[in-house]
Amino acid sequence: MIKPHGAETLTPLYISDDAQRAELTKEAEELPSVLLSSGAAASAVMLASGYFTPLTGYMNIAEATNVASDMKLPNGLFWPVPILNIVSDDQLTDAVKNADRIALRDPNVDGNPPLAVMTVSAIETFTSEQKHLIIEKTFGTTDPEHPGVPAFADVGDNVLSGSIEVLNYSYFPEDFPDTFRTAVEIRENIAARGWETVVAFQTRNPMHRAHEELCKIAQREVNADGVLIHMLLGKLKPGDIPAAVRDAAIRAMVQHYFPENTVSITGYGFDMLYAGPREALLHAVFRQNSGASHFIVGRDHAGAGDFYGPFDAQKIFDEILADALEIEIFRGNWTMWCNKCNKIIMMGDCPHGQDDYFSISGTKMREMLGAGEPLPPEISRPEVAEILMEYYQNEVN
């Protein structure tokens, strides 16, 4: 199996020993604490799960600006996105300022229980120039209309860095018991299935027929033993379909349209950044950590609105050093129904032209689903459309 990124084995930061975890939980209740942002809490879950191997905690400002500017950690290892714990002024109490260790509380669970304990290396404050640089490099824009920009910019200016020990996986195991899996668990499952070549597919949306066929095309072309459908389970921008609905739709599609034991349906606990090319690189890092040998990067990967070109997330892989990652990238083209081929095709593999292709916009699909109109079978499997229709009609009504 492919090695983790920058390490021989995964380095999950979850404290798995029951006695040690109980002791740490008791300590956490007595420590000064800060309430994490949702993004920082999600990063703690990713660190706990081994997805962010080989990181040991949150970055300081120098590390973050280096990652933003050059996509490198201090030791020279490739890393594409800063992983930060930023807090507002009201969180930075005197007790926190004077503490060597602090508790990090979960904003997404009732009662805000401790999620992790942090050994504080530094407490720093962003200059406006540092913050601007990190936002611009990470998102490719500072436009507040980009959903990721205010999520970063409005949290605060105080950066708490240091290693962490994680007590739990937040709300993800309880809300998604059949889907949430750590990188450790995914690697174990891949080994148990006897898979050697695995192609990973990222999604924050339900999978329509074009997504289904893209997975099948990639699996055929790289001769993969299986497909890892790996869905984001964390926070999304308004208008995106909730994870539970998406999960049900994906499971219906796989059950009816993929051969048995060729797909592993899993999810990870992270909030969507909508950072386009940089987020595609981060997705590749933690798919390598999950044991996938190949990763599909399709059209408008991790994008939002018109902030990125349709294939910018593929082009960025040409800009990094060849040995930056071991995972191989499968580049998806426009994928759609061809009336003459009478099937879903990937543009470039079909001799026909635009007049032969059938597609409808996402806006039109949402309108049809809200009105109770069935989606065309060329676009969506009926089992998937039924689940989505129920959701949209409930939302509308």
Distances (CA, A) of 150 to 65, 160, 191, 251: 18, 19, 41, 33
Q: How far apart are CA 313 and CA 280, in angstroms?
A: 6
What torsion do the CA atoms of 307, 277, 272, 80 make, to the nearest 10 degrees? Answer: -140
Verify whether residue 220 is a known catalytic residue. Answer: no
- Strand 335-338, strand 343-346: pairing: antiparallel
- HSE at residue 241, side-chain half, CA atoms within 13 A, is 25
In degrees, to the nearest 5, what angle opens at C-alpha 43 toward C-alphas 112 and 168? Answer: 50
Q: How far apart are CA 329 and CA 341, in angstroms?
A: 27
CA-based nearest residue to 307, from 95, 143, 124 = 143
Verify whether residue 168 is a known catalytic residue. Answer: no
Give the active site residue among 193, 204, 331, 366.
204
Give the active site residue among 112, 189, 205, 331.
205
In degrees, to the nearest 5, what angle opens at C-alpha 30 toward C-alphas 27 and 34? Answer: 100
Catalytic residues: 204-205
